[in-house]
Each structure stands twice: as structure tokens, then as C-alpha cells.
């Protein structure tokens, strides 16, 4: 029996998967959800401490059922990482409302729904740790990213509100703002030589981060060592915030 149970949304790829690996290396049971059922099944077969279910984080019924499933199968939720995200890019004066809504619904509403149902369970248990994944774009705008950046800024403020409302129940809620991380999500951008060069000019570390470099601080924020940290934003970006975002128009 694992010593603790952790939920990870978007836990079948990139940063979510790196968080899962970090937690499993500490003997913690992971229950991941994702849209990618095939990847979830493979990970379940390969890892004793990995359980996974197909869930769309924007669907309230599915989110509620998933949280109920985790509690009925694993007893409690000690930590919850809200990572799932993607976007439909576009310039503001050209973007269809449908694309704007897709992005805001996934990035912001998905975190709201998980905070709501995980928060209810953690209140019952009298404690727990929530870590949301926002983006450097919560602080720094980017071309084609108005919906994404606005929604990520919303995730940062939602985190602070949740910290305020849930502190009475022994729940800590913090948020990580990653810069450029090498995952399937950014492969299209970093694969373009011109854009990749512009990123490197701006990032003092001169490289994108490895997903593990986001997972380790995220897991720290969910640990006992972070018991007095609440409502905080941690930028993890190789120093990028100090230099601003590159022009993505080629
Ligand atoms: N990679 C970066 O540079 C970077 C930078 C800042 C923030 N982020 C954020 O980190 C998070 C993870 O990104 P990543 O780079 O690991 O991407 P990724 O594409 O590797 O992983 C995202 C996962 O979320 C899942 N997902 C998408 N929509 C979903 C839905 N509706 N319901 C359930 N699961 C869904 C996908 O299937 C995928 O497995 C995202 O929120 C992203 O915005 C990434």
C-alpha cells in the first residue's frame, strides 16, 4: 500500500508525466487522468504505482466521477496537480470566439473544476496540497496567445483565491509558472530554427527546461517542506521573465 495518493491531470505526457515519475520515485500512488487513453493504459501496465482514467477536465460530471473514483479506490487525495492544458492560437482581431472559448475552457475552467471537487474532498479529510500549473504567459504576453495568456493569468489568481478560501481546512494551494519546457506541446515552436533562436536570445539559461525541472519544484510545493507556503506563484523559467517574450511572427 502506497504511503500517499496524488492526482495528476494531463498525467500522460510532458510535465504531468514528469510529475508522476517524480512522485512514484518517492513511493507515492499516482492517479492520472488525460484524454490520451492509449498512453494512460501503457503507463498503467508499466508502473505499479500508476493508475489512470480517461477524463476530459472540462466536463464537470467526469471530473466529479473521477474524484469519487480516486477516493473509493485509494481512500484519500493527499496531493493534486492540475496540469492538463493546450490552446488554439490566434491574433485577437482574427480569432474566432469558438477558439477563444476552447482555450479558456480547458486552461481555466479545467483547473476550477478540479479545485472545486478535490477541495471538497480535502476539506472532508482536513488537509491536502494542490499545485496548479500556469505559465510564464500569466505575466508576459505573446503573439497568438491572448486566450492562453489570459486564461493562465486566471489560473494564477484562481490559485490565490483558493489558497484564501481553503486555508481554514488545512489545504495549501500554490502555482508554478513554467517558461519554455521541452515537451510535445512546444515541439512545433522549438522545431522552427528562427523561433528557437529567438527563444534562446531571451532565456538567460540559453535552453528550454526539461520536464523534470518543473516536476521537482512542483513536487516540493506539494511536500511537508512547503507547509508554510500558500497562495504563492513560483516562476520556473531559466531566468526568462527578466528579458521578455520573443516576437513569434515569422
Ligand atoms: N511546455 C511548455 O513550455 C509549457 C510552458 C508553460 C506552461 N505549460 C503548461 O504545462 C501544462 C502541461 O503542458 P505540456 O507541455 O506537458 O503539454 P503536453 O501536451 O505534453 O501534455 C498535456 C496533456 O494534457 C492532456 N489534455 C489536453 N486536454 C485535456 C483535457 N481536456 N482533459 C484531460 N487532459 C487533457 C493531453 O492529452 C496531454 O497528455 C499545460 O497546462 C501547459 O499549458 C507548458
**Ligand 1 pocket: which of 183, 186, 205 to mutate (most atoms within 8 A of CB):** 183
The secondary structure of residue 145, as a DSSP letter, is B
Q: Which numbered atom of ligand 1 lies nearest the CA of 137?
A: 6
**Ligand 1 pocket: which of 185, 187, 240, 245 to mutate (most atoms within 8 A of CB):** 185
pLDDT at residue 248 in the model: 77
Name the fold adopted by 5-235: Rossmann fold (3.40.50)
Query: What are 178's strand-pairing partners?
Result: 236
Question: How does DSSP assign 152-195, residue by residue?
Answer: HHHHHHHHHHHHHHHGGGTEEEEEEEE-SB-STTTHHHHTSHHH
Catalytic residue positions, numbered: 148
Ligand 1 contact via 238 beta carbon (within 6 Å):
no
Q: What's the first-to-final CA gap in the chain, in angstroms? A: 53
Which long-range CB contacts under 8 A does 167-170 form with residues at least 24 apart?
Answer: 167/230, 169/119, 169/122, 169/123, 169/126, 169/127, 170/122, 170/126, 170/127, 170/128
Q: Which of these, 154, 148, 221, 208, lies nearest to 178 by C-alpha position?
A: 208
Ligand 1 contact via 232 beta carbon (within 6 Å):
no
Cα-based distances in Å from 110 to 3, 33, 65, 106: 27, 12, 14, 5
Ligand 1 contact via 22 beta carbon (within 6 Å):
no
Q: Which of these, 152, 160, 161, lies nearest to 179 by C-alpha position?
A: 152
Nearest CA to ligand 1 atom 40: 85
Q: Which of these, 38, 34, 50, lies nearest to 2 by C-alpha position?
A: 50
pLDDT at residue 198 in the model: 87
Q: What are the pLDDT tens digits along the chain (250 aa)?
A: 778 999 999 999 999 999 999 999 999 999 999 999 999 999 999 999 999 999 999 999 999 999 999 999 999 999 999 999 999 999 999 999 999 999 999 999 999 999 999 999 999 999 999 999 999 999 999 999 999 999 999 999 999 999 999 999 999 999 999 999 999 999 988 889 998 888 888 999 999 999 999 999 999 999 999 999 999 999 999 999 988 777 777 7
Question: How does DSSP assign 73-134, residue by residue?
Answer: HHS--SEEEE-------B-TTT--HHHHHHHHIIIIIHHHHHHHHHHHHHHHHT-EEEEEE-
Which cell goes with 146? 491572448
Ligand 1 contact via 183 beta carbon (within 6 Å):
yes
Ligand 1 contact via 190 beta carbon (within 6 Å):
no
Q: What is the pLDDT of residues 114-165, one digit of tens each?
A: 999 999 999 999 999 999 999 999 999 999 999 999 999 999 999 999 999 9
The secondary structure of residue 232, as a DSSP letter, is -
Nearest CA to ligand 1 atom 16: 14
pLDDT at residue 247 in the model: 75
Amino acid at each position: 500500500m502506497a504511503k500517499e495518493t496524488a492526482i495528476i491531470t494531463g498525467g500522460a505526457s510532458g510535465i504531468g508525466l514528469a510529475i508522476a515519475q517524480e512522485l512514484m520515485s518517492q513511493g507515492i500512488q499516482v492517479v492520472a487522468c488525460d484524454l490520451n487513453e492509449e498512453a494512460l493504459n501503457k503507463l498503467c501496465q508499466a508502473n505499479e504505482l500508476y493508475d489512470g482514467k480517461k477524463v476530459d477536465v472540462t466536463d464537470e460530471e467526469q471530473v466529479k466521477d473521477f474524484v469519487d473514483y480516486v477516493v473509493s479506490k485509494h481512500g484519500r487525495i493527499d496531493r493534486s496537480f492540475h496540469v492538463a492544458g493546450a490552446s488554439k492560437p490566434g491574433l485577437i482581431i482574427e480569432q474566432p470566439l469558438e477558439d477563444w472559448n476552447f482555450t479558456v475552457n480547458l486552461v481555466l475552467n479545467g483547473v476550477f473544476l478540479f479545485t472545486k471537487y478535490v477541495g471538497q474532498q480535502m476539506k472532508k479529510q482536513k488537509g491536502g496540497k494542490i499545485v496548479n500549473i500556469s505559465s510564464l504567459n500569466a505575466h508576459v504576453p505573446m503573439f497568438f496567445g491572448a486566450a492562453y495568456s489570459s486564461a493562465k493569468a486566471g489560473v494564477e489568481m484562481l490559485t490565490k483565491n483558493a489558497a484564501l478560501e481553503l486555508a481554514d481546512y488545512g489545504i495549501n494551494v500554490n502555482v508554478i509558472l513554467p517558461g519554455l519546457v521541452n515537451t510535445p506541446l512546444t515541439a512545433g515552436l522549438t522545431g522552427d530554427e528562427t523561433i528557437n533562436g529567438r527563444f534562446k536570445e531571451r532565456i538567460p539559461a540559453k535552453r528550454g527546461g526539461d520536464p523534470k525541472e518543473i516536476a521537482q519544484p512542483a513536487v516540493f510545493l506539494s511536500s511537508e517542506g512547503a507547509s508554510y507556503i500558500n497562495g504563492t506563484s513560483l516562476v520556473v523559467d531559466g531566468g526568462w521573465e527578466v528579458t521578455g517574450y520573443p516576437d513569434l511572427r515569422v
